[in-house]
Homo-oligomer: A and B are copies of this chain.
Amino acid sequence: MFKRTSGMALSLGSLLAAASLTPALAAPAQPSGQVQVRDHNISMAQVIEAQKAWCAGLLKISQAYASGGIKAATTTAEAVIDQAYAYQNGPVAFKPTLTSGSQTFRATREGALAYFVGNNPRFPNDKGFALKPWRTCRAVNAVIQLNGPSAVTMGNVVITDAKGDTTTVDKTWQFEKESNGTVRILLHHSSLPFQG
């Protein structure tokens, strides 16, 4: 993401022209040829991509369960979580849709895994959210905040199951672009819509 590529290298001419008040009078430029640009920011496209990756991960766990049972689902969920969430770097602020009481918040990888695939006696209420026969998943954004190496999205996620039934949740994510360019979730608050 941060590598020197031709896509991120801007021509000296264009930046020089842009920044120069009187380029015609100027002495020859000393730096040779190209401006080296490092862009630490998450782009809008990367935000959307990270949302799609979360949805794709959910469907992947569901499919693994259907085809390979709990063992395959667990292996898949571990890979999905390690890719999508930043537990490697510390506590993640994760409030899943269907958790409550003293186990509402899942700051640890173990707690996240239990939520997705259940079967952990230390999280007895977890039934394995990702084991259901999910078929589609998409994010509909209401607010996006781009803040350099991190970005926030708030809106709905709409998922459908094998019967075509739809579940809509209110969802907030904060994504962080790590030093090597990987985008991971730092914050995830999901809740069922208020029933007034």
Residues of chain A at the chain B interface (Cβ within 8 Å): 2-4, 10, 12, 15-16, 18-23, 25-27, 29-32, 35-41, 44-45, 48, 51-52, 55-56, 59, 86, 88-95, 97-102, 104-105, 107-108, 125, 135-150, 152-156, 158, 160, 164, 166, 168, 170, 172, 174, 176, 178-181, 186-187, 189, 191-196
Are A191 and B174 within 8 A (Cβ)? no
Contact between B143 and A105 (Cβ–Cβ < 8 Å)?
yes
Contacts of A142 in B (CB 8 A): 31, 35-36, 93, 104-105, 107
- Given A4-B91, A91-B37: A98 and B196 interface contact (C-beta under 8 Å): yes
**A contacts with B: majority SS:** mixed
Q: How often does this chain occur in the complex, in copies?
A: 4
In the A-B complex, the 9 residue pairs with the closest CB atoms: A148-B148, A191-B191, A2-B90, A38-B90, A36-B91, A20-B138, A178-B179, A31-B142, A105-B142
A194: chain B residues at CB < 8 Å are 97-100, 104, 191-192
A150 neighbours in B (Cβ, 8 Å): 147-148, 150
Determine if A156 and B30 form an interchain contact, defined as CB atoms under 8 angstroms apart.
yes
| Residues of chain B lying within 8 A (CB to CB) of residue A196 | 98, 100, 125
